[in-house]
Structure 1
Amino acid sequence: MTATTLATAPRELILLANATDVLGGVTAWTHQMARLFAAHGHRVQVVGIHEAELKLTLPEPPAYPVTALYPSHPPTPWRPRSPLAYFDLRARRREAARVADKRRAVAHLSEIFRAAGPGALVIVTQVWPMEWVLEADTAGLRLIGMSHESYEYSKRCHRFRWIKNSYPQVDRWLTLTQEDADAWIAEGFDNVGALPNALGALPELPSPRTEKTVASIGRLDDQKGIDLLLESWSLMAAERPDWRLRIYGAGQDAAALKKQCTALGLDGSVEWMGRTDDVAGALAASSVFVQSSRGEGFPLALMEAMASAVPCAAFDCAPGVREIITDGEDGLLAPPGDTAALADRLLRLTGNPRLRDTLGDRARVNVQRYSEAEILRRWHELFELLDR
């Protein structure tokens, strides 16, 4: 499909995220969709609340406007904890400055919205930016709210309250799976739908699966569960002395995780690769992919591994994971947080070349149901629905 054969009229689209440049899957998804929409004739811009410190490297410079409302993460609101705190003049001045900065940011966002004109679509890719959207001038716009995490993961944190307060006010509220959509409908929402992430380009050649390497790719933070992965690896490393675990990623927990690795006696079999901008290369050099997350939405890294024909072992931590992987057919799932079970799945994959080949080849075929063309078609159906 090209811009000349677009199934829907060209539109003004604004994708709004926490940050436009932060290292992470939502940022990668935001720019993937922005490129896809722009390539098919839509007028696109990407807006972030703030610029990030730990930045994502994009595959190519954006061919669409990218704006950050703040140069760095804005401070949280000041809440006095006692009557005496009201006499803290420094705190009051900082709060006054924060309020003034937010007023300017909202005014800037309103200018962007007004310039887009009536009928423009604002796709709020994460929940936090709704704080600014709801204060901005959205007259004549259509609002689509999204969450890139599962219902259960949202319910365990403050974002559950944010969604309950903000997303009844959007025209359409999108989860990544129908299972999650049904859970939110049970919470009383009547504007919920489901739209999965899109797979990027399929690698021309699959991984040869010749290296005795297991790969993990993701941020080094609590959500990604690298501490759980290290525990699992410690249960199996002695049985696979010729295999290596390569951990790709950066994040705030890096030092603590490396300390844990040493304490578990794994320094000889675990390689800390740092962040990578060559995911395809990392997967091509791997024979197994592992995902140990505590929570996920619709993980791009998992889809990328499957597209490279790398068989996957993962915690069944979210509907998106079990929608992507069919256990025993194109990957192996373990109960969430069960490190012994994850070790078992890794032992099965590392010890059985025929199983690796079978699951990897099926994965490469099955994951193509999330092709960019198919997901774009579903987005266009949604745009047409919102016009009615």
Structure 2
Amino acid sequence: MRIVYLVPSIANEGGVARVLSTKANYLVQKLGHEVHIVTQNKGNVPLFYHFDAAIFLHDILLTGTPFAFLWSYQKALSVIFKKIQPDCIIVADNGLKGYLVPWLFPTKTPILFESHGSKFIQEQASKNTFFGKLTYRFLILLKIFCAKKFDTFIVLSEASLQEWKLYNALVIPNPLATIPVKKANLQSKKVIAVARNTYEKGLDRLLPIWQKTSLANPDWTLEIYGNQVTNGTLLQLAKALQIENSVRFYEPVKNIEAKYQEAAVVLMTSRSEGLPMILLEAMAVGLPAIAYDCPCGPRAIITEGENGFLIPDGNENVFIAKLTLLLQNVALRVQMGNNASKITAKYDLETVMLQWQNLFETVAKK
């Protein structure tokens, strides 16, 4: 089967690129499919994750006004589709153009949407005005309308299924690329967070939490790994909060599993998530997790009080209290860490890819 993925970029350390590398490699190596990945504006160089040499990489240049942008997108993809003659098209693009693909390309070829984010995802703070609120509401309704046009709309969890409420939706979670052999011993005094420095990922919400937590736990350190975390904005905020001595900022590293193994707790303060690989991979190593109950990924992974704490979104005081509890209670960390590592069975690579293979066989019959 010839499978084409449409994704803005795979030249980054993000969760979508991580998952796509795992799945695309499996599709060509284990299942014998022909896989093509179409990115935009040099979105496939340089690659952060490994993509098998048998995978075909394409890139298209998109510039200009929104209308010129869409016209260029439609024209370039038409040329690629005509050449490849795909049996299945998978859109992994949360941008508006991703939702418009079935309208831009009326075709009998099955078009699937792979949703890696919340329906309510916001890449920047919305304007608190009547027009700003109206625009936000309109975009959500437009997403829902367009989502119904896809042959199948794949979501990553039951929580996401409830969020979208679509008749054509199907749950297939992200897989773990590997099952960790070495687990964290949870004895270090390091807390870890992994996220790019964007509004959506909410690192600006994490630093004030750490400021208050570190007052009672001065011997602990927070390590933050991610794209643009070493730029001026977070450093300035850390200095303003007077926590620059207890926070360390690092650019992305390929062997993030080793960093999880050195930590004792993993934190997430995102404003929205799909099914965050950061939590899956950290908890697989045995880290208890604390995350805001944002829409809607963390609640699909964290079982409150068993493998971590799910905090009411934006409730800083509860977050601080639960974090302090874990930092000061080794036995509780170990208990929750042991429970956290049990999630690996649900996200086993072979199991997840069997679900994808079954879906491909189903859409091929249609």
Please confirm whether the aligned pair reaches a TM-score higher than 0.5, indicating the same fold: yes
Q: Residue 20 of structure 1 corresponds to which residue in structure 2?
A: 10
CA RMSD of aligned residues (A): 2.6
Q: Residue 37 of structure 1 corresponds to which residue in structure 2?
A: 27
- Secondary structure of 1:28's counterpart equals helix
Q: Equivalents in 1 of 2:197, 2:333: separation in Å?
A: 27
Deviation at 1:114, TM superposition (A): 2.7
Over residues 110-167 of structure 1, what are the superposed CA-to-partner deviations in whole Å (9 max), with x where a residue is unaligned?
A: 233233336x111101243436734655534110012211234379577524423432
Q: Residue 255 of structure 1 corresponds to which residue in structure 2?
A: 232
Q: Equivalents in 1 of 2:283, 2:94: separation in Å?
A: 29
Q: Residue 212 of structure 1 corresponds to which residue in structure 2?
A: 189
Deviation at 1:204, TM superposition (A): 1.6
Deviation at 1:229, TM superposition (A): 0.7
Runs of 4+ more than 4 Å apart? 52-56, 102-105, 134-138, 154-159
Q: Residue 122 of structure 1 corresponds to which residue in structure 2?
A: 89
CA contact (8 A) 2:229 2:249 kept: no
Q: Residue 310 of structure 2 corresponds to which residue in structure 1?
A: 333
1:162/1:146 CA distance change after superposition, 3 Å = farther
1:115/1:138 CA distance change after superposition, 3 Å = farther
Q: Residue 288 of structure 1 corresponds to which residue in structure 2?
A: 265
**Letter of the 1:74 counterpart:** T
Q: Equivalents in 2 of 1:161, 1:194: separation in Å?
A: 21
Q: Does 1:74 align with 2:63?
A: yes
Deviation at 1:21, TM superposition (A): 1.7
1:159/1:29 CA distance change after superposition, 3 Å = farther
Q: Equivalents in 1 of 2:80, 2:297: separation in Å?
A: 33
- Secondary structure of 2:3's counterpart equals strand
Q: Equivalents in 1 of 2:340, 2:47: separation in Å?
A: 27
Matches within 5 A, 1:198-277: 198-251=175-228, 254-277=231-254
- Secondary structure of 1:265's counterpart equals coil
- In structure 2, stretches of 5+ residues that fail to align are 123-134
CA contact (8 A) 1:213 1:246 kept: yes
- Secondary structure of 1:223's counterpart equals coil
Rg larger in 1 or in 2?
1
Q: Residue 75 of structure 2 corresponds to which residue in structure 1?
A: 107
Q: Equivalents in 2 of 1:54, 1:362: separation in Å?
A: 39
Segment of structure 1 superposing worse, 310-319 or 224-233: 310-319
**Letter of the 1:266 counterpart:** I
Q: Percent identity?
A: 26
Q: State the aligned residue count.
A: 351
Segment of structure 1 superposing worse, 153-162 or 329-338: 153-162
Q: Residue 131 of structure 2 corresponds to which residue in structure 1?
A: none
CA contact (8 A) 1:235 1:340 kept: no
CA contact (8 A) 1:292 1:315 kept: yes
Among 113, 134, 153, the residue aligned to 1:145: 113
CA contact (8 A) 1:178 1:193 kept: no
Q: Equivalents in 1 of 2:307, 2:221: separation in Å?
A: 22
Q: Equivalents in 1 of 2:361, 2:34: separation in Å?
A: 16
Q: Equivalents in 2 of 1:116, 1:246: separation in Å?
A: 45
Q: Does 1:166 align with 2:133?
A: no
Over residues 282-313 of structure 1, what are the superposed CA-to-partner deviations in whole Å (9 max), with x where a residue is unaligned?
A: 11211111111111010001000011111111
Matches within 5 A, 1:345-364: 345-364=322-341
Segment of structure 1 superposing worse, 317-326 or 49-58: 49-58
Q: Equivalents in 2 of 1:202, 1:208: separation in Å?
A: 17
Q: Equivalents in 2 of 1:77, 1:153: separation in Å?
A: 20
1:153/1:214 CA distance change after superposition, 3 Å = same
- In structure 1, stretches of 5+ residues that fail to align are 1-10, 79-97
Segment of structure 1 superposing worse, 104-113 or 358-367: 104-113
TM-score by length of 1: 0.83
Segment of structure 1 superposing worse, 263-272 or 172-181: 172-181
Segment of structure 1 superposing worse, 172-181 or 134-143: 134-143
1:45/1:304 CA distance change after superposition, 3 Å = same
